[in-house]
Amino acid sequence: MGIEEYGGGQGPQSDILVVTTNDVPGHRVEQVIGEVFGLTVRSRHLGSQIGAGLKSMVGGELKGLTKTLVQTRNQAMDRLIEQARARGANAVLAFRFDVTEAADVGTEVCAYGTAVVLARE
């Protein structure tokens, strides 16, 4: 697997800016729309679970699980961006991920932040 399969984040042409900071240099917040989030729950693939169990005995990265988590985070972020866009935002500030186990059957990933309308200063 190439490095592109382990990354995430926005593409260069996104109409919604997503940042982990509370402000954006050169911009002012014109309107705070409020919290937005994108949520997804992924079940574990039996084959990857068995492979992960075997790999844990000898050590090393669990590449199948890493790839699944990247895909899950990207899906949650895509949903966050769609919600922000639908509510009229052009940016999401204070962006974060929250990852938890979901009833021992999968992984819940929530991408969240504050939807705002930014304007150049």
Lowest model confidence (mean pLDDT) among 5-9, 31-35, 100-104:
5-9
DSSP string across 13-37: T-SSEE-SSS--TTEEEEEEEEEEE
Q: In what order do the strands lie in the sheet with 91-102?
A: 17-18, 91-102, 106-120, 27-43
Q: How far apart are CA 94 and CA 22, in angstroms?
A: 5
The whole model's pTM is what? 0.80
* Residue range 36-75, pLDDT digits in tens: 999 998 886 555 555 555 556 666 777 777 788 888 899 9
In 1-120, which ranges are continuous DSSP H helix?
Answer: 46-58, 63-86
